[in-house]
Amino acid sequence: MEAPDHILINGYKHINFKAKISTESESIEKSTTFFNWIDERRTVRDFSDQPVPKVVIENLIKTASTAPSGAHKQPWTFCAISNSALKTKIRTAAEIEEKESYENRMSERWLKDLEPLGTDMHKPFLETAPWLIIAFKKAYDFGENGNKHNNYYVNESIGIACGMLITAIHNAGLVTLTHTPSPMNFLTKILNRPSNERAFLLLPVGYPKLPTYVPDLERKPLDEIAVFYE
């Protein structure tokens, strides 16, 4: 008998996924190719001001929102900003926080660890990049009568979504960096976000300025990042 197209679990419809099953050699080939491609991704801090079509940004956000999340609550809002006046406001506010961080909040050791990356309190990319995508996490949602419903595994969920977003940005031939101005409350105010949203990560998105220089970093080898129990 053929498998039914759908079944009920707890009274909820579950559809036959019809997953495409790869052969072993296809999986080896695909995982190798994908690794080699994603290993070319680099964090870039110098952006071209060349515009990026809105439909590209829409596709990137839709991709991020395919991420798994606690109880499928999708506890996130992605704000995409191309408006120059808003970008300037964000840069000004971010640089105030970053100045305070670099001068007073970060330890000597932290500053030393950042030295090879060449970061500082100046954030010109917040104005140069054609788009800023800001991921907000939703600790809770509002029910019909305004009461709060907590979401689950919010940090894990939005972290995964941001990882997929960064992968999608690389796939579109664009670059980004994970900017973490801290504290980030100023973003809630500038963008007029509701009280259940907290800024999680700011990603400028665009084409790289050419030539672009990135730190000469190496990634840890597999034996430093993985342990196999076979």
Candidates 44, 93, 98, 197; binder of ligand IYR (CB under 6 A) is 98
Which residues have a Cβ under 8 Å from the Cβ of 177 and sit 6 or more positions away? 43, 44, 45, 125, 203, 204
Note whether 179 binds ligand IYR by CB under 6 A.
yes
CB of 177 to ligand IYR, least distance (A): 8
Closest CA to 196 of 142, 157, 144: 142
Note whether 119 binds ligand IYR by CB under 6 A.
yes
Q: Which stretch binds ligand IYR (CB under 6 A): 5-13, 113-121, 192-200, 211-219?
A: 113-121
Note whether 83 binds ligand IYR by CB under 6 A.
no
C-beta of 95 vs 141, nearer to ligand IYR? 95
Element holding 15 (H helix, E strand): strand 12-15
The one-character DSSP state at 229 is -
CA pair distance 64, 166, nearest whole angstrom:
8
Candidates 16, 27, 50, 180; binder of ligand IYR (CB under 6 A) is 180
Q: Which stretch binds ligand IYR (CB under 6 A): 1-9, 51-59, 73-81, 175-183?
A: 175-183
Candidates 7, 28, 38, 114; binder of ligand IYR (CB under 6 A) is 114
CA pair distance 226, 58, nearest whole angstrom:
35
Note whether 150 binds ligand IYR by CB under 6 A.
no
Burial of 104 (C-beta count, 10 Å sphere; 0-12/13-18/19+): exposed
Question: Contact residues for ligand IYR (CB under 6 A)?
Answer: 98, 114, 117, 119, 179-182
